[in-house]
Amino acid sequence: MQQVARLVVPDERFWADIAAIERASTGVLCFAAEDLQTGAIVQYNAEHKCRTASVIKLPILVHVGLSIEEGRLAWDEPLVLTDAEKVPGSGILSQLTAGLRLTLRDVCVLMIVLSDNTATNMIIEHVGGVNPINERMRSIGLEITTCFRKVYARDALPNPYGLGVTTPWEMLRLLEMIARGKLGSEALCEEFLAILSKQHYRDCIPRYLPEEWRYAGKTGSIDEARNDVGIVTDAEGNRFALALFCQELQVVRWTADNPGEVALARLSKRLLLE
């Protein structure tokens, strides 16, 4: 029998479970979740400013897509890998030979699916820096979501958030716009979802959900935080947007057993499955 998702109706027991998940995480939970059929929302610390880590790559993708619809860019235009742009961390491009030519779409896919840091920097450079990305976020009503710099930028001004800042509420709004086809055309939003659905990192939101359910999202990980924002579709086609953040982690562990990742996995299950 197929399991059907239902966004929890918060009660005393739910909040007790959230408190237990938060304690076990060694960090601070911040989240917002929406039933995209009914508009019902469950939230906790949803306006808390969070370190995005690689979740900021979703707003970067949105800016690229909207720029393409405006005729400023094209999915098939070429980008060339250089040694100067290579940075460490997640991804594969830093291991490949300089001079490699990829389409803008391919670089975007690597940025999202493998969270490729070099791909991210190539895109930021290609669109003219972080300012156009941040201006785009303001234009669609996200006042807090900000990309501060390239990944591992040596000349960046110090700030308490690192690569970027957002809130669960703003990421929920962004996911909702994508799910409802309200960012540019419906075809563009379907393209966003197609890319997000290829996500390689699946240890948070989808971890404890039924295997037949679909997930399209973007994770973010740094020592102090684990984040995952995405859209879950159950076996009957019901869709739910989840923006889950675990901040201020006290345990640094770069494995799937990181308590922040386990906490977000437990949280998504608690939100959608009784």
pLDDT digits (tens, 9 = 90+) for 199-242: 999 999 999 999 999 999 999 999 999 999 999 999 999 999 99
Classify burial at 126, counting beta carbons within 10 Å of its beta carbon; exposed 0-12, middle 13-18, buried 19 or more.
middle
Exposure string of 182-198, with b = 16+ CB inside 10 Å and e = fewer, is: ebbeeebbebbbebbbe
More confident residue, 1 or 267: 267
Q: What CA–CA distance (Å, rounded) separates 89 from 93? A: 10
Q: Is pTM, for the whole model, over 0.85?
A: yes
DSSP assignment letter at 126 = H
> Is the separation of the CB atoms in 91 and 119 below 8 Å?
yes
Q: What CA–CA distance (Å, rounded) separates 206 from 268? A: 8
DSSP assignment letter at 83 = G
Sorted by where each starts, the structural domains of the chain and their CATH numbers stand as: 1-48+167-274 (3.40.710.10), 51-166 (3.40.710.10)
Beta-ladder partners of 51: 165
pLDDT tens string 102-145: 999 999 999 999 999 999 999 999 999 999 999 999 999 999 99
